[in-house]
Amino acid sequence: GAVVSQHPSRVICKSGTSVKIECRSLDFQATTMFWYRQFPKQSLMLMATSNEGSKATYEQGVEKDKFLINHASLTLSTLTVTSAHPEDSSFYICSASIAGGMDEQFFGPGTRLTVL
């Protein structure tokens, strides 16, 4: 149980295009979903927290107009990287929590984005 999927697993795009990454909780309903970014050989950094039906809360330094997050249902959250640039190339990982707050987070397998 508690499986989280991400799609796509890898994406390569041209600079200036937008890319959408999906995060799905497959066997549970997620009140809260988190989006993390991990640069090569570095740690995971939280980008934003989203609760179903409400606007995402972004961490300091993360541009909300560039990284659009939608949490339209209890099983799906999407992250759209708009007008992607090479510096956005990274490993994006989502996690989902059943009850939110300090409840356990279940992580997706990650999406590797390469912007040419």
Partner 1 sequence: AQKVTQAQTEISVVEKEDVTLDCVYETRDTTYYLFWYKQPPSGELVFLIRRNSFDEQNEISGRYSWNFQKSTSSFNFTITASQVVDSAVYFCALSEEDGGSQGNLIFGKGTKLSVKP
Binding residues for partner 1, rule: CB under 8 A, are 32, 34, 42-46, 49, 57, 91, 93, 95, 97, 100-110, 112
- Taking the complex as a whole, the smallest distance from the CB of residue 83 to partner 1 amounts, in Å, to 25
CB-nearer residue toward partner 1: 66 or 100: 100
Q: Is 63 or 104 the residue whose CB approaches partner 1 more closely? A: 104
57-87 core/surface letters (b: 16 or more CB in 10 A; e: else): ebeeebeeeebbbebeebbbbbbebeebeee
CB of 26 to partner 1, least distance (A): 14
Q: Residue 108 CB, nearest distance to partner 1 (Å)?
A: 8
Residue 43 tokens read as 């740690």
DSSP 43: -
Minimum distance of partner 1 from residue 92's CB (angstroms):
10
* Cβ distance to partner 1 smaller for residue 13 or 98: 98
Nearer CB in complex with partner 1: 16/104 = 104
Residue that the structure tokens 């795009």 belong to: 13
- End-to-end Cα separation, the chain, in angstroms: 37
- Would you give the distance in Å from CA 94 to the centre of its chain? 4
